[in-house]
Amino acid sequence: MSQVKEVLAKISKLAPGHAVELRIPPYSAIQCVEGPKHTRGTPPNVVEMSAEVLFEIAGGKINWQEAISDGRISASGERSDISALFQQLGAAE
């Protein structure tokens, strides 16, 4: 789905780096956010969501914390709260 890759490309530009792995299965995954680079095994900072949730959160239609609470977003690791990044993404539109 090209729309997923477009949103992820914007996120990569806003927050380049390798500290967080952002997964949108089965479409794509990127590494973003400055910080320690992960090279082996499961990354310590992982955010995963569906494409639909990606579009809703990027468009400001749903709240990050609510989506975490109800399981629409899975986030683990101390750097996995990338809610501010999605606010920047919405402001850049």
Q: In CATH, what number is assigned to the domain containing residue 74?
A: 3.30.1050.40
pTM above 0.85, yes or no: yes
pLDDT of the chain, 93 residues: tens digit per residue: 799 999 999 999 999 999 999 999 999 999 999 987 766 777 789 999 999 999 999 999 999 999 999 999 999 999 999 999 998 887 665
Walk across the sheet containing 20-24 and list its strands.
Answer: 28-32, 20-24, 46-49, 73-76
Q: How many domains does the chain have?
A: 1
Q: Could you list the residue range(s) of the whole structural domain that residue 54 is in?
A: 2-92
All residues at 6 or more sequence positions from 69 whose CB lies less than 8 Å from its CB, including other chains: none
